Structure formats: structure tokens, C-alpha cells
Structure 1
Amino acid sequence: MHKKENLVVIVGPTAVGKTALSLTLAQHFNGEIISGDSMQVYRQMDIGTAKATEEERSLIPHYMIDIMEPDEEFSVAIFQAKARQLISEINHRGKLPFIVGGTGLYIQSVTHSYQFSEADQDPELRDRLQLFADTEGVEALHRRLREHDPITADRLHPNDVRRVIRAIEIYELTGKRMSDHQHQAAYSPYNLKIIGLTMERSKLYERVNHRVDLMIEAGLVEEVRQLLDLGYSPDLLAMQGLGYKELIPYLYGEITLDKAISDIKQRTRHFAKRQLTWFRRMPEISWYDLTEPESHEQVFQTITCEMEGMFPFSQNI
């Protein structure tokens, strides 16, 4: 029987503490980290995507960071293929691969072997759907998807126009829903440990607000200004990311900086709530509460004991 490759996944809402735990566990278990965040792949988008710092990356090798330009197309299928290859390479080096991030579909595509549609593309149909979104609004486009494919509509945010259009396109071309094309294995192909981090909601929202303040102090406004100065369109999917989309109207003189910051905080809080909703649907996740700072060491010890039983040859002893 073919031996399954090892894989550890750390998930949870933004600002909950995934990065700190991943560094500690990766050092203890001789691991290497694959970013499971759909925005960290983009170069020149560092502050708003909360990438691991250069110092953190010097401690533990990190992958799937800074591999695309902001105007290059990136998809869950690309992520799946690249992550699978990295997992095999890390295992073959005798290391333990960790996927760390909050983009649920990207992570689940790897842990449970989603198979994606190969339906043809219709540029003319895409143009019509984009025009519909531009004239009627993204919510109207999203409602159009929901009429045919409520499962995919639940998964995609209305602002993710490119993927909403793709889902409608698949239905129009094949008569089948995107959710029909995406098959998920009942069991993971990996020897898998999924760690879910959670926190009492008011405490999490405090951390979200504080993180946004720190990003502003670190120069997020200048980061967005530089992207615009380099000619990247505000309509790019990358520029719709948290912290980028909200600052563009400020840089165009349409709103105040206080309003932009308030919008970032509110949208990030809503995003954190959606992340938790997504991950709660994954029954394999073992959940750990980080609400109380004094409990963090005990959480680490508990996870370590559980992992030592699963990955006895990956410990850095």
C-alpha cells in the first residue's frame, strides 16, 4: 500500500495568530511553510497581505509568496498544482510541510483533492457578463449566479467578480453548475493534521482593528499608492484585496483616510467571520482556542503531543 505523504495545515480567521504558531511548530518539527493565502502570491503587496517578514522567512523556508505580479492571473487550480508539488518535495527532503493561511477553498483543494472543471471559455460571454456587472452591479451578477448554482454562490463573495463570471460561464456553456464539476474526495490523500485556531469574537475583532492600525503605521497607504503609480488598475482582482480596495478611493480624493481605515476594519471583521463559517464546515479540523494569552503555551503543548504521534520522524530533536 502506498504510504501517504505528511501534511499539517493551520487555518483560522485573519489576525488569530496562525503565523506565530506555524513558526513555533515548524521549528519544533523540522518543517517548511507553504502560504495558503490567495493574496500573498503577489509581489509588491506585502503590508496589506500580512506576509511573513524577512526575519521570519530566514528562520523557516516559506513558499507561495511573491510568485506572481499583481496583474497576472492566479487561480485555485494553479495553487493546487503548485502546492501539491511543494508538499512532495518537502516530504522527500525529510521535512514536514505546513500549509498556513485563511483561504478556505485553496486549502481544501489540496487537502481533499478537488478536481476542477475543464470547460471551454467564451470571451464574448465573459465580456457581456463583465458589462452586466459594471452596469447593474456586482450584487446583481451574484444573484444571477445564485439562480443557477446556489452552492457556488455561497462560496464566492460578490466582489470576486472574475470567479463569479467563470461560474456563470461554466453553467452557460455546459448546462452544469461549477459545484457539479468540482469533485471532492471523501478522504484526504495525505497523512493529515488540520489545526484550527479560534478566539472569542470581541477579542478577535480587537486584534483585527489593531492589525489594521499597525499596517497603516507600517506604510500601507504608500504601498497602495506605489501600485497605482506603477500602472496597476484598481479593477484588478489583486487590487480588490482587503486594505487595497478601501484605500484607492482615499488616494483618489473621494473619501477621508479615517473613512478608508474604518472601511478596512469593518470589511476585515466581516471577512474573519466568513472564514470561520467556511472552516466550521470541515469536520477534520481540531480546534484550539487562543482567547486567553496565558493558555497559548498549553495549546502549543497539546498540539505538539498530538503531532508527535502522527509525525514521529519529523521532530527536530
Structure 2
Amino acid sequence: MITPIAVVGPTATGKSDLALDLAQRLDGEIVNIDAMQLYRGMDIGTAKLPVAERRGIAHHQLDVLEVTETATVAAYQSEASADVEAIMARGRTPVVVGGSMMYVQALLDRWEFPATDPQVRAKWEAVLADGGVQALHDALRAADPVAAKTILPTDGRRMVRALEVVELTGRPFAASQPQVGEPHWGTIILGVDRETAQLDARIEPRTTRMFDQGLVDEVRELIGRGLREGQTARRAIGYAQVLAYLDGEYELDEARERTFIGTRRYVRRQRSWFRRDPRVHWLDGADAALADSAFEHIRSRTAESRATCDPAVDNGESRVSMNRSRP
């Protein structure tokens, strides 16, 4: 029995290295669940792992969109689900890794998405274009006060979607959200986090390194490929700030500082979101034995699952047979 593993949590905690370690031990393949890493050419600013550092492990859901395309949770759910099932059909272990919150929930909770209507969506996008996020937030507060309280008032794209769903279904936006239950495929969910001060101390040099490695040049190249016309890619942390710098809105140092602040703020949101999920088994990213701790939890959970399915199965044998790592 193959059990997928999900490695989730805030940015810069060490998820990618842990996922690689687990994939090696479990004869696995990795499925990305970072929305911005779906885009071709968005490498430096998303901390996308270079091919040379992937240890020969197959990676899926990387570089599948052009920056002019719009990343959607529904499309990701369909395509990533197919990847997970294909990996399992090959007799290998899917290791899903990333921190895009709604994408994680869509994949693991089998989110059923309400239909869309181009005319309804265009109407609310026009409100956003004409009146800005405040006008959209006012409309959402009138239509669905609960959604207005839970969606960030700066998140125009999500407010448009909420208003579209409310208008099409006649029900609150929350009614279309997935219910937390047994994760799809019985996935074992691991969360990686670090102390706040330690994490901030990692984010700051990471941000500086991105700019030193050529983030500005990367953005310049992507502009030539349509970055400004894209609805999703251009809003990514780092890319939005560099675009503002190139437009003369910020000095370079300010763009770097705003990228750091934006990343730090996003980390707080990720932590709050994932900490609400009781299914997540939390690990300390600073633990020198992180991979061993994660693997022991996986072995324990897998043994429990097999014993539940077949009480006659000896737990010791289950733990040994579960370890299908390469020699």
C-alpha cells in the first residue's frame, strides 16, 4: 500500500530539502504545490530548486505555465491529482511539497469548485478596475459579511471569485469551501516550521541573495515574455516589487526591503492557516535529525494504518516493508 506524503508549512523553513530526503528514502517523486513555481522562468524569486540540485528525483508541476497564463486552484487540483495517481500507479511514493495554502487544501480535501461565469466575473472585475479593492470589499461586505471578514481586503482576485460564487449559487462563499476530513489518498501531512526570530533571520539573507543572484534581470526578461500582462505571476512577492522598481516607484533597496517584509507577512499567514489543520504533524526545521524524525513518524503512521486494515499484520514487519528506499 502506497501512502502519499505532503510536506507543508511556511516559506524558508526547509521543506524542499526534507522532501528530497524523503523521496530518496521512499523511492518517491516530488509534486510541487507552490503556485508561483508553476511558472516558467520564475526561478530566482520563487527559490525554485535548480535541476542540478534535485538529486535525480523526478519533479512534477514545475514550469507548466507561461507568465501570461492565470494559475487557478481548480486546474492545479486536476493536473496534480493526475500526477499523484500516476506516481502511485508506477509503484512509487508521491511527495507533495510547498506552501500555497488553498492549493494544498484543494488537492488533499478534494475541493469541488462552483461553476464560473465569464460575464459575472467580468462584472466584478470591472468594479475592481473602476473602484479599486475598497469598492470590491464594500460589495462583498454587503453580499457576504463573513467572507468580507475572512478575505484580505487587498486580495482583489479572491474577492472577485467570492462575489462570483455568491451571485451564481445564492449561498455564502464559505459554503463552497472544502470540509477538513480524511486527506485524499490517506496522505500523511507533515508541517515544517521554525521559531519566528530564526525564520526572519533566514528570510532576510534569502531575499538579499535573490537580488544578488539576478532577480531584477530575471524580471526584465519575463517582461519581454508578457509578465506585465499576466494576472497572477506579476503579483508574486518579489516580482511585484521589482516591477515597481523598474517603473521608478521604488529605489532598489526599498524594493528589496518590501520583498522581505512581504515574505515575512506571507509566512505569518501560512503559519496561521496550516496551524489550524489538526491533521498536520509538526516538525522543527532546525532539528539536525529532521529527516529521521519525519521518516519515523511516517513509518509509525503507515504501520498503524496497515494494522487497522489487517489486525493480523505484525507492526514490526509493516515498518520494515514500508521502507522501499533505494540501496
Is TM more than 0.5 here?
A: yes
Structure-2 change in CA distance of 1:209 and 1:221 (3 Å) = same
Deviation by residue 1:120-178 (Cα, 9 ceiling, x = unmatched):
4042x433422322343224423432443455456644444333212101212331123
2:288 corresponds in structure 1 to 296
User: Judging changes above 3 Å, is the alpha-carbon distance between structure 1 residues 172 and 68 closer, same or farther for their aligned structure 2 residues?
Assistant: same
How far, CA to CA, are the matches of 2:178 and 2:249 in structure 1? 44
C-alpha contact 2:68 2:230 (8 A) present in aligned 1: no
Amino acid across the alignment from 2:249: E
Name the amino acid aligned to 1:236: Q
Alignment of 1:88-107 (within 5 A): 88-107=85-104
On the 8 A contact 1:149/1:178 being kept in 2, the answer is yes
Structure 1 match to 2:51: 54
The answer on 1:44 being equivalent to 2:53 is no
Query: Matches of 1:70 and 1:92 in 2, distance apart?
Result: 31
By how many angstroms is 1:100 displaced? 0.3
Q: Judging changes above 3 Å, is the alpha-carbon distance between structure 1 residues 153 and 97 closer, same or farther for their aligned structure 2 residues?
A: farther
Rg larger in 1 or in 2? Answer: 2
Q: Report the aligned-residue RMSD.
A: 2.1
Q: Which runs of 5+ in 2 are unaligned?
A: 303-320
Q: Give the SS at the match of 1:194.
A: strand
Aligned to 1:175: 170
Query: Is 1:313 equivalent to 2:296 in the alignment?
Result: no
Alpha carbons of 1:143 and 1:33: their partners in 2 closer, same or farther (altered >3 Å)? farther
* Letter in structure 1 aligned against 2:44: I
Distance 1:58 1:142 in 2: 46
Provide the secondary structure at the position in 2 that maps to 1:282: coil
In terms of mean alpha carbon deviation, does 131-140 or 246-255 score higher? 131-140
Query: d(CA) in 1 for partners of 2:69 and 2:163?
Result: 22
> Greater shift after overlay, 166-175 or 91-100?
166-175
CA shift at 1:58, angstroms? 4.8
Report the counterpart of residue 126 of structure 1 in structure 2. 121
Deviations 1:55-93 (Å, cap 9, x if unpaired)? 123521110000011111221111111111111111111
1:296 counterpart SS class: coil
State TM-score, norm by structure 2.
0.87
In the alignment, the residues of structure 2 paired with residue 131 and residue 24 of structure 1 have an alpha-carbon distance, to the nearest angstrom, of 47
Structure 1 residues 9-28: aligned runs within 5 Å: 9-28=6-25
1:314: how far off?
A: 5.0
2:259 paired with 1:248: no
In 2: Cα distance, 1:144 partner to 1:274 partner: 24
Q: One-letter code of the match for 1:102?
A: G
Q: How many residues align?
A: 308
User: How far 1:289 sits from its partner (Å)?
Assistant: 1.7
> What is the identity percentage for the equivalent residue pairs of Structure 1 and Structure 2?
35
Contact 1:234-1:248 at 8 Å conserved across structures: no
Distance 2:213 2:187 in 1: 36
**1:195-234 counterparts in 2 under 5 A?**
195-233=190-228
Q: Distance in 1 between matches of 2:71 and 2:229?
A: 17
More helix by share: 2
Verify the 8 A CA contact 1:23 1:56 in the aligned structure 2.
Answer: no
Change (3 A) 1:264 1:97: same
Alpha-carbon distance in 2 for matches of 1:289, 1:139: 39
Deviates most, 259-268 or 245-254 = 245-254
- In 1, Cα distance between the equivalents of 2:141 and 2:96? 31
Residues 159 and 241 of structure 1, relative CA distance in 2, 3 Å threshold: farther
- How far apart, CA to CA, are the structure 2 residues paired with 1:233 and 1:53? 25
Distance change in 2, residues 1:55/1:153 (3 Å): farther
Q: Amino acid of the residue matched to residue 322 of structure 2? A: F
Unaligned 5+ segments in structure 1 are none
